Structure 1
Amino acid sequence: MSESGFGARPRSETFQYAGADIDLVDATTILAAARVNPVELLSRAAFPAPVKRVDVTVTSADTPDGPVHVFTARISTADDPLSTERIRSLVLGNDPVGLLLTRRIQAGDPVTTRIVDGVGAAAAAAYRKLGLDRPDRPVAGREPGTLADAAVGLQADVTYDESGTMVRLRAEVPREQVQPAHLRAFVGLTLQAVCELAGEESLRGRRYVVSRDSLPKAPPTTQTVTLDQVGGLADVVAELRQIAVSFRHPEAMARWGARRPQGILMYGPPGTGKTMLSRALANEIGADFREIRTPEILDKWLGGSERNIKQIFRDARRYRVPTLILFDEFDSIISYAGVGGDAASQAINAVAGIFKQEMNDLIEANPNVIVVATTNFPHRVDDSLIRSGRFDVKLSVPKPDEAGRAEIIRKMIRGLIAAHEQPGFRMFDDDLDLGELSRLSIGMTGADIKEVLRRVQLAKAMQDARTGGRVTPISTAELRASIAALQGPGSA
């Protein structure tokens, strides 16, 4: 049987509200996680007009009467009219040229991105001048009030934003008294507020999943991964969440004269998820992601590498939207600075020198940009390159311990279940022993665990093809054998 807390298949309950089906997944886990970091729910769900977005957050706070769980909801009836995605869609359109330019932007072409975003800035200015950014105000003039669920004794204060486009709900429950029923009740009150805006029958036939993991319809990729989907690195994820908050709230930073980190160095063994964490941070911030690879910098021609690094930072200073720039495998780009007197070493030192100069004032030149560098070999990078002021945060990304491996296995399997299981088809046994699997996979990284699952999935698919579908779900024994095979002889 599964070890307590390690179940691969999330515990869920389903209830109805105003004709909508609500799946509440792992409420106990949501409440436990909220003690450490805010947990955001429902932000990706689609709601009936005029509601554009609903964010439900569960967090904790200390009050004079003791620690409490705080439930908050924000119901917005306004689009973000000048978001990067919307402005680009206005500029590019759906014609062949627009689609070609879109693909070039997605591929990280800095010239195309600069041109399109320049045109987008002009379009945004015209958008404002014409008054098209002024949203309807369906909640204007409403008085504050309360919504209550008498069954569990939960009462939420309701307030309305001055802009007339935002409804806010807030409720507190003492930490020692909080139960999954309180979370369920608060979700119900939030949906009640949605119905007051959109109509009593507006939710009928809809389905919402309230889940900490926010599992997508397909397993997360490097492009779509979020910090919620990262397993086994609680301390690193907590640090990145704080950085994301500092990036998203420049007004609070300015009020206190604080400066958010300009650069982050992540180091650790291969396969521990450094690149994935960089992408997840970009998604947490809502930033564009620009990955710099070695061939984009190093050039065999004299002076070429120096020109390339200057151009990269010249582009960075012109970005008008939040952008995370990733220098992956940083040591292969700039290594052993200051060592050697041959031409190759001098070229590397020249690139390193330019990199130092460009990083000195990047945040002042463009506060929209944050730089991340990753390396498997931190000893190969000169200390002066990564000193505070250039790279303010240095994060070790180690191989996961036993508890971390259990969480990675759980999240990966839940992602596969969400993506592939359907009525009549079960991909995994209900009683997987993730505790045993995490003990057996000692020394493995997240990349190794992903390979363990890939091998079992491939074996099952081949068996399915040969037998015409007469295949049993993946069992603990099969995963155990795959772990042993990947670890090699003598691992059993």
Structure 2
Amino acid sequence: PENYDPDVIGAIDAPRGVILYGCPGTGKTLLSRSLSKKAGPQVSFYELASPEFSCGIYGEGPAKVRDLFRDVRNNNKKPEIKASIIFLDECEEIFKNLSKLGENVSKDLANIVNQFKTETTSADNDPKKPILIIGATNHYDKLDEAIKSRFDYHIEVKVFDKDFRLEFLKQRIQKRNNKYNEEAKDYLFNTVNELIESFPV
């Protein structure tokens, strides 16, 4: 906040990471992108699909993780940059609980998990220009417990209920200045909104 004074309130450590979890379609990715826009140009935003790290020949995955953090740290050295956000979609693909996968799991996957653990706590990270990791997943139960502990906040993104959905629809129509007549609005707000309640989660 603009009126925050660390000398009066005390220094606040930046969170290391946030896990957004919930069923598909609840807006986890959109929420992360909105956070980036809200933070402004002084915060760099990196969006990656987690399967990118697990594809390729043996050893490429951990190298991609090292390269990513190296690039982020170098970018953070720019005077106009205050922090960076790394958004990992489908993070369960690389943060899998290896103990549940048996002997058939790729050895490289374990190396990728360990490399992320190393990079998130590296002494090369500048605490004055923090790197925030946001992971989004539809399968929270599949995540490695050790990785979970590296994320300060685990936030469930739930499906909108009927009342929240109604307010959202009204806001979107107003923002977009859609020329719906009253009959169309009534059908959308009541009939369609009510039908969505019966959709499987």
TM normalised by structure 2 equals 0.80
The percent of aligned pairs where both chains have the same amino acid is: 24
2:55 is aligned to: 299
User: 1:307 is paired with a residue of what secondary structure?
Assistant: helix
* Cα distance change, pair 374–354 in 1 and its aligned pair in 2 (3 A): same
Taking the aligned partners of 1:263 and 1:253, their CA distance within structure 2 comes to 25
User: 2:46 is paired with a residue of what secondary structure?
Assistant: strand
Taking the aligned partners of 2:138 and 2:166, their CA distance within structure 1 comes to 24
C-alpha displacement of 1:376: 0.3
Taking the aligned partners of 2:32 and 2:123, their CA distance within structure 1 comes to 19
8 Å contact kept, 1:317–1:362: no
Query: Which residue, out of 363, 369, 374, partners 2:131?
Result: 369
Query: Which residue, out of 327, 332, 337, partners 2:88?
Result: 327
Taking the aligned partners of 2:198 and 2:148, their CA distance within structure 1 comes to 29
Query: Which residue, out of 436, 440, 452, partners 2:195?
Result: 440
- The structure with higher relative contact order (CA 8 Å, sep 6+) is 2
C-alpha displacement of 1:299: 3.3
Taking the aligned partners of 2:85 and 2:20, their CA distance within structure 1 comes to 14
8 Å contact kept, 2:23–2:138: yes
Taking the aligned partners of 2:122 and 2:130, their CA distance within structure 1 comes to 13
Cα deviation digits, residues 108-148 of structure 1 (max 9, x gap): xxxxxxxxxxxxxxxxxxxxxxxxxxxxxxxxxxxxxxxxx
2:116 is aligned to: 355
* Cα distance change, pair 297–274 in 1 and its aligned pair in 2 (3 A): same
TM normalised by structure 1 equals 0.35
Taking the aligned partners of 2:152 and 2:57, their CA distance within structure 1 comes to 33
Structure 2 residue 25 is matched with structure 1 residue 271: yes
2:65 is aligned to: 309
Give the aligned residue type for 1:378: Y
C-alpha displacement of 1:369: 2.4
Give the aligned residue type for 2:151: F
C-alpha displacement of 1:317: 2.0
1:429 is aligned to: 181
Gaps of 5+ in 2: none
Taking the aligned partners of 1:254 and 1:328, their CA distance within structure 2 comes to 38
Give the aligned residue type for 1:345: S
Taking the aligned partners of 2:112 and 2:125, their CA distance within structure 1 comes to 22
1:285 is aligned to: 39
8 Å contact kept, 1:262–1:363: no
C-alpha displacement of 1:350: 1.0
* Cα distance change, pair 440–401 in 1 and its aligned pair in 2 (3 A): same
Aligned residues: 188
1:405 is aligned to: 165
8 Å contact kept, 2:18–2:151: yes
Taking the aligned partners of 1:264 and 1:403, their CA distance within structure 2 comes to 27
8 Å contact kept, 1:263–1:370: yes
8 Å contact kept, 2:14–2:130: no
Give the aligned residue type for 2:65: I
The RMSD of aligned alpha carbons is: 2.7
* Cα distance change, pair 310–363 in 1 and its aligned pair in 2 (3 A): closer
Alignment of 1:136-285 (within 5 A): 245=1, 252=6, 256-285=10-39
Structure number with larger C-alpha Rg: 1
Alignment of 1:475-490 (within 5 A): none
C-alpha displacement of 1:284: 1.4
Gaps of 5+ in 1: 1-244, 422-426, 446-492
* Cα distance change, pair 264–335 in 1 and its aligned pair in 2 (3 A): same
Structure 2 residue 171 is matched with structure 1 residue 415: no
C-alpha displacement of 1:285: 1.4
C-alpha displacement of 1:362: 7.5
1:380 is aligned to: 142
Alignment of 1:5-24 (within 5 A): none
Give the aligned residue type for 1:403: D
Taking the aligned partners of 2:173 and 2:124, their CA distance within structure 1 comes to 40
C-alpha displacement of 1:360: 2.1
Structure 2 residue 154 is matched with structure 1 residue 394: yes
C-alpha displacement of 1:309: 0.9
User: 1:302 is paired with a residue of what secondary structure?
Assistant: coil
* Cα distance change, pair 250–291 in 1 and its aligned pair in 2 (3 A): farther
Taking the aligned partners of 1:304 and 1:428, their CA distance within structure 2 comes to 52
Give the aligned residue type for 1:292: L
Give the aligned residue type for 1:348: L
